[in-house]
Structure 1
Amino acid sequence: MPPFTRRAVLGVLALAGAYGAYRVITRRQQIAAAEALYATPLSKPSGALNVYHLGHSLVGRDIPAMLAQLAGEGHRYDSQLGWGTSLKEHWEPNLAINGFDQENAHPRFRPAKEALGSGEYDCVVLTEMVEIADAIRYHDSAEYLARWAGLAWGRTPIPASTFMKHGIIPTTATDGCTGSTGICENTGRTRSNILRC
């Protein structure tokens, strides 16, 4: 092999190795940041909460109702649900939400953008479609999580990079998560916590 070709191959291998090391270090930093979020759990709510559930049929009407029973007097909730619905489908008005009429035929239904934009909720539970890896890959989960969170926090949109910077949304691997992701915020609106899959 001519010396120039050999140098080019070695250069490409060195670049590939440097990129691989960068990815490993970056991923470790993301994992450490995510673990730091869980080091100190949120304090227990001091009273009843107003909760909004945005998601799909795995949450259904049952989970919010069961939470209300467990929480006790004064707990209030509303929801918008669909069948296998992604956060993107809930956000975009031109995308269909399968099962919308059936899942939202109850007195606790409230349109999601109106609800989150109202600032009336202490806690917002966002449930992404299953498989989460597909939602991340094909439905722009990070982007739409950022939009919903921004609306809930009164800032639309929060850049998806804000979440990824803190290791909240997996950027490449899903670490075996096959469930849902949500955001819950304490009553004081001073600190947020991402619920694990």
Structure 2
Amino acid sequence: MACDRYVAICRPLHYTVIINSMVCAYLAAFSWLCGFLNSTINTIVISRLHFCGPNSIDRLYCEGQPLVRLSCSSTRLSDILATLSAAVFGVTCLVFILTSYIFILTAIFRMPSRTSRKKSFSTCASHATVVILYFGSLTFMYLLPQNRSSQTLNSAVSMIYSTVTPMLNPIIYSLRNHQVLRALKNIMALR
């Protein structure tokens, strides 16, 4: 989405040439492949751990990091892979998104027309909202100190990035559609 927004705002006349169906297919395949490889590697490493003692996770769903903490064997490889995964897929993606938004904001502020700046901001607003929700909750989650008093908070924040953000995606992106906005205004007027 960051790449799409960048091309749409910074290279609008070349949009159809740059963002064609083949590029979209490659981007989708690349993201699916990265997600599949990452989850497969982590699953294989975690499945080789030995577990003893407590067998309950104080989370709403089974996540890799809390599961690793239950292991009574060495978790060094799993910890290294988790850090590497966070660096490659988290930090790299965030840096890419932030860099594209720096270029986008620079291009928007150079636009002479207030109307075109407003239209460009509205183009990016939905994606920026999702990025802030997702990476904000992830950052909050993984920068918190790991103590017992924050388990409820950990569960709530993990629910935001795992459930709320994907659930809000269709709603946030559909609010850019004028027909959806008109229908929503009609519903709100009836109440």
Structure whose residues are more often strand by fraction? 1
Normalising by the smaller structure, the TM-score range is under 0.3
TM-score, length of structure 1 as denominator length: 0.26
